[in-house]
Structure 1
C-alpha cells in the first residue's frame, strides 16, 4: 500500500463508524464492530468491520467470514461506489473527510472542472447526513443570535460531528455544525455553508475560519421562504446568512436569499415574477460592489432595487442589541408602504 493510501486508510479508520454508516448503510453496530453482509453493502452478518483500534489491529480493518476476504475502508469505498482507479477511490475518501484534493498534473482549466464536478455532490451528501435543527445546538446558536425561524425552513440542518480540515497543521477535527443549503431556484442543492459551533454552546467554534462554503455558489443562494418555481414578486437579498435570517425573523412572510459573499450577491439569479428587490447592506463598505452590481442587473431586468440599511453594523446587530420591535420600526421607514403593511407586524 502506498504512503498516500495508508494515510487515507488511517484517517478513515479514525471515523470508522461514520464511514460504515455512509457506505455500509445496510449494516448495524454491534459492540466494537459494524456488521453487514459483504463489502458491497449487502444485507447480512458475515462481514465485521473493527470500529476502534484494539490488540487485534487498527480501526477500519474488516474480514468477511463467508469468503475470507479482508481489507480496509478504502476497499469499502471502492466496492460500494463501483470505482476502479485508486485516484478515484482516494478522491472519494478525501471528499468524505473534507480534505483538500492533491494538485493533479493537469491544466488549470481541467483542475477547475474536476473541482466543480465534485463539490455539489459532496454538499448534497453532507446535507442528507445532517439532522433537522429543532432541539439541537444549531437551534440554540441561532436563538442566541436572536434568530427565530420556523421548522418549515428546509434549508437548515445540523451535523453533530462535521469534519474541519485545519490548513496550518493538516489535522482533521470534528465539531458540531449548522449546515445551510445553497440551492438554485428549483430547490436543487448546489452547495452549502458550514458554521462550526462551540460544543459547549458558546457561539461559533474557536477556529481560524469557523464558516466555510463549498459547491456551485454563483447565481444560487441560501434561500429562506422560497417555494421552488413559484413567482416571487417581492424579496430581499444580501451577503450573510445571519443578516438575512434576522430580516426573516421580523418579516417571516418575506422570501430572502443569502448569497454568502459580495461577488456571489452580484451574480444572484432572480426568481420568476420578481418586481421589487430589497438589498440588505452592512454598515461598512466591503460589500458595495456586490450591491451596486446587483442593483444594476435588477434594473436591466425591470426589477426595482431598494437598499435596506441597518442602524448598527448589520441587521443581526440590530436584532440582538436593539430588539425585533425596534428593528421592525426601522425597516418600516425603508420599505414601500404596501410591503410594510404586508410583511411587518402591525405596530
Structure 2
C-alpha cells in the first residue's frame, strides 16, 4: 500500500468530486405495503422455503444456483445477499413488472391474494421481535466468553494476513460453536475463532462474527463456511475505530484491519458483507463516509449501490479502491496480485 499523506486517501487516486447529495422523504404506505404477506406476492416469481423466521429462495433479480434471497413477512421486506436487491412489496412489483409507484399501489390494493389481518401482523411482529431478542442474547453470551486476542490463534491469523498493528478492542478470541441444532437446541463443539464484536448505531452489541481458524491460527479452518455471524447483523458494523465525523466502511474484517493499519488516524468500520454496506446504522456524529471497495465486478456494483443509499440518507460519500493489480485491500497489503 502507498504511504498515507496529509490527505490519507490521496494515495489511492481518489480525486473525484464527492457524490451529489439529495435527500428524499419516505411516504406513509404501511397499510397497503403490508396488506398481503410478501411471500405470497414473491412466491409467484420464485419458489420459497422456510428457514427459521424467514423464507429463502433463488433470487428473481440475478442468476444463481444457491439461494441467497430472503423474505421476511413480519417486516414486509426482501433482501438478496448475492446481488444486494432489497425492498418491499411496492418496490418488488415496480422492478419485476415495470410498474409506476401508483400502479404498484393499485395492484396491491386490488389483488385477490389473502389479506393479512391486523392480529396476524401483530403476532408475526411479536414473534420476529422475540427471535431477534434471543439471537442478540446468544451473541452477547458468546462475546462474554471471549478474551483479548494477544498470544492467541486470532493474533496469529492476523499476522498471517500481514496485519501486525495491535488489534482493536472489538476483535477478540474465543472457543465457540459454529452451529446449533434446531430441534434439540444444542450447540456444536467449540472451535478456535477470531471474533468481531458488532454494534448498532447506538453502540450496543447486537451480533458477532466468528472467523473459525486452524488450531495454530495459520489460516481459516477447513470448513464449508469458516465465517459465520450470530445475532442481528443487518444495520450493525464491526467498528475498528471510534465514532468520527468521517468513517471508512469496507466489506470484511481482513480488509478493514488492513486499512486500519495502513491509514492510522482513520476510523474504519466493517459491514460484514458487500450487500450490507448501505444498511450500516450511522450515529449522528458521522457526516461523511468513504466506501473502500474491492476490484471486481461485484465489488464495484456493491459500492455503487451503497453510495446511492448512503447519499440519500444525507451523508457525503466518496469511494476508493485498491490499486488495479490487487483484488482487495488485504491482497494489496500482502502484495498478492490478481
CA distance in 2, matches of 1:112, 1:273: 30
CA distance in 2, matches of 1:150, 1:199: 21
The answer to whether 1:261 aligns with 2:277 is: no
Are the aligned partners of 1:157 and 1:178 in contact in 2 as well (CA < 8 Å)? yes
Q: How far off is 1:281 after superposition? A: 0.9
Q: How far off is 1:234 after superposition? A: 1.8
CA distance 1:302–1:201, change in 2 (3 Å): closer
The answer to whether 1:131 aligns with 2:147 is: yes
The normalised TM-score by structure 1 is: 0.56
SS state at 2:235 partner:
coil
What is the total number of aligned residue pairs between the two structures?
A: 215
Are the aligned partners of 2:178 and 2:228 in contact in 1 as well (CA < 8 Å)? no
Counterpart of 1:242 in structure 2 is 254
Counterpart of 1:270 in structure 2 is 282
Counterpart of 2:35 in structure 1 is none
CA distance in 1, matches of 2:292, 2:150: 27
SS state at 1:318 partner:
helix
SS state at 2:298 partner:
coil
The answer to whether 1:295 aligns with 2:302 is: no
SS state at 2:166 partner:
coil
Residues 158-196 of structure 1: per-residue CA shift (max 9 Å, x gap): 01x2112388xx992331001101112332101010001
Residues 285-325 of structure 1: per-residue CA shift (max 9 Å, x gap): 224454223212332344331211112110000001269xx
CA distance in 2, matches of 1:181, 1:259: 12
Residues 130-174 of structure 1: per-residue CA shift (max 9 Å, x gap): 1000111101100110113325x2211101x2112388xx99233
Larger Rg: 1
The answer to whether 1:155 aligns with 2:170 is: yes
Counterpart of 2:179 in structure 1 is 165
Counterpart among 306, 310, 324 of residue 318 in structure 2: 306
Q: How far off is 1:125 after superposition? A: 1.0
Counterpart among 176, 196, 205 of residue 189 in structure 1: 205
Q: How far off is 1:109 after superposition? A: 5.6
Q: How does 1:314-325 map to 2 (within 5 A)?
A: 314-321=328-335
Are the aligned partners of 1:147 and 1:245 in contact in 2 as well (CA < 8 Å)? yes
Are the aligned partners of 1:221 and 1:257 in contact in 2 as well (CA < 8 Å)? yes
CA distance 1:102–1:221, change in 2 (3 Å): closer
Q: How far off is 1:221 after superposition? A: 0.2
Q: How does 1:5-84 map to 2 (within 5 A)?
A: none
CA distance in 2, matches of 1:322, 1:172: 35
Q: Please tell me the root mean square deviation across aligned C-alpha atoms, in Å.
A: 2.9
CA distance in 2, matches of 1:177, 1:188: 22
CA distance 1:171–1:131, change in 2 (3 Å): closer
- Listed as ranges, the gaps of 5+ residues in structure 1 are 1-99, 324-347
CA distance in 1, matches of 2:296, 2:156: 28
CA distance in 2, matches of 1:101, 1:165: 14
Q: How far off is 1:245 after superposition? A: 1.2
Q: Which has the higher helix share?
A: 1
CA distance 1:115–1:318, change in 2 (3 Å): same
CA distance in 2, matches of 1:206, 1:173: 15
**Where has structure 1 moved over 6 Å in runs of 4 or more?**
100-103
The normalised TM-score by structure 2 is: 0.57
Q: How does 1:81-230 map to 2 (within 5 A)?
A: 112-151=128-167, 153-159=168-174, 161-165=175-179, 172-227=188-243
CA distance in 1, matches of 2:129, 2:284: 29
SS state at 1:296 partner:
helix
